[in-house]
Structure 1
Amino acid sequence: MVVGQKIEKQFGDLKVLKGIDISIDRGEIVTILGASGAGKTTLLQILGSLDKPSSGEVIINGTYINRLTGNQLAKFRNQHIGFVFQFHQLLPEFTALENCMLPGLIAGKSAKQARQQALKLLSYLGLNDRLEHKPAQLSGGEKQRVAVARALVNDPMVVFADEPSGNLDSKNQEELMDLFVDLRKQFNQTFVIVTHDQYLAQKADRTVHIVDGVIVD
């Protein structure tokens, strides 16, 4: 469902990715592990359409995303891809509910539709009593759950997560990965997760190891 073919990425004379081939199935939870500088975040950003490879192709559900133009790519990303980041990236002036609604509104849903979907997800994630709280009023674990709900609000084909547990304590780290597993069971959701967290890696269906820009067994 997500396929990377011969992906290379170079910054000046520095080659970060050196011909990556990767395939991820629908409903699979895959973690990407590697030392700092190995290229794992660069790979995630390329697979998630946030960056372009120097060469190679990324295909998501049959769409060659490298070949999309700016507006086409933005629309595809909004409708089919979700993102969860280490530091949440919630807008501080908006409530949890409003933050979760935003991708739906950008996708052209009515306020009623976006609100209904956001309420459904936030309720599922146990945040019914935090809907009107702004990020500064939420704990780290609560902010991350809002970020997960926001990533899912448009029912994406795949969610890319970059060190999603890196800013959480050990209890919330475990709860977050258990949440990903539950969401896969409930919605057949696909997750691609860059992490240093061995608990996340152990719970995943498969772990991809990157060393010096190449995948190793």
Structure 2
Amino acid sequence: MINVKQVHKSFGDLQVLKGIDLEVGKGEIVSIVGPSGAGKTTLLMIMGTLEKANSGKVMIDNNDLSKLSEKKLADFRNKNIGFVFQFHQLLPEFTALENVMIPALIGNMKQGAAEKKAKKLLAMMGLSERMEHKPAELSGGEKQRVAVARALINDPVVVFADEPSGSLDTDNKAELHSLFFELRSQLNQTFIIVTHDEQLASITDRTIHMMDGRIVEKISD
């Protein structure tokens, strides 16, 4: 479903990715781990179309992302890719419900349909009573569940998560990790997760180890 072939990326003279090959199947939950500076987030951003590789190819659902114009790439991202970031990136002036609806409205879903779907997703996240609250009125765990609902609103083929539990306490981490697997069970959702959380990495279907811009067999302690 996702196929990365010989992806290289440099920032000036700094070579960050040095020929990455990776395949991820539909419904897989894959973690990417490694020390800071290994290239994990850069790889995630390239697969998520937020960065461009210097060379190589990324295919998602048989779409060669390098062949899409900026406008088509933005449209593809909106319809096919969900994101969950460490600090949730919710818009503070909007309610939880409105935050979840925004990607659907950008994708030209009608307001009524977007609201209905957003409410269903927030209910699935256990947030039925928190829909009209703004981010400042939500706990850290609630904010991340809103972010997950937002990532799912357009039925993406894949959700990319960058340190999604990095700012959460132990209980909220466990809840978020369980949520990923519940969503895979209910929606056959694919997740690719960059994490330093060993507990999360240990329960994913597969762990990709990175070091110095390459995928390695396993990072020694």
Smaller-chain TM-score range? over 0.9
Is residue 2:5 matched to residue 1:9? no
What is the letter of the counterpart of residue 77 of structure 1? R
Q: Which residue of 2 aligns with 1:166?
A: 166
Q: What SS class does the counterpart of residue 207 from structure 2 fall into? A: strand
Q: Which residue of 2 aligns with 1:151?
A: 151
27-36 or 168-177, which deviates more: 168-177
Q: Which residue of 2 aligns with 1:190?
A: 190
Cα shift at 1:202: 1.3
What is the letter of the counterpart of residue 95 of structure 1? T
What is the letter of the counterpart of residue 204 of structure 1? T
Q: Which residue of 2 aligns with 1:70?
A: 70
Identical aligned residues as a percent: 61
What is the letter of the counterpart of residue 187 of structure 1? L
| Residues paired across the two proteins, number | 217
Distance in 2 between residues matched to 1:66 and 1:90, nearest whole Å: 29
Q: Could you list the runs of 5+ residues in structure 1 that have no partner in the other structure?
A: none
Cα shift at 1:12: 1.2
What is the letter of the counterpart of residue 211 of structure 1? M
Cα shift at 1:174: 1.1
Is residue 2:113 matched to residue 1:118? no
Deviation string for 1:140-173 (max 9, x for gaps)? 0000000000000000000000000001011111
Q: Could you list the runs of 5+ residues in structure 2 that have no partner in the other structure?
A: none
Q: What SS class does the counterpart of residue 89 from structure 1 fall into? A: coil
Distance in 2 between residues matched to 1:173 and 1:8, nearest whole Å: 33
Is the 1:97–1:131 Cα contact (8 Å) retained in structure 2? Answer: yes
- What TM-score, normalized to structure 2? 0.97
Q: Which residue of 1 aligns with 2:210?
A: 210
Q: What SS class does the counterpart of residue 35 from structure 2 fall into? A: coil
* Structural RMSD (CA): 0.5
Map 1:122-137 to 2 at 5 A. Answer: 122-137=122-137
Is the 1:49–1:66 Cα contact (8 Å) retained in structure 2? Answer: no
Q: Which residue of 2 aligns with 1:80?
A: 80
What is the letter of the counterpart of residue 167 of structure 2? N
Cα shift at 1:178: 0.5
What is the letter of the counterpart of residue 129 of structure 1? E
4+ runs deviating over 6 angstroms: none
Map 1:45-60 to 2 at 5 A. Answer: 45-60=45-60
Q: What SS class does the counterpart of residue 144 from structure 2 fall into? A: helix
Cα shift at 1:96: 0.2
Distance in 1 between residues matched to 2:153 and 2:47, nearest whole Å: 20
Q: Which residue of 2 aligns with 1:61?
A: 61
- What TM-score, normalized to structure 1? 0.99
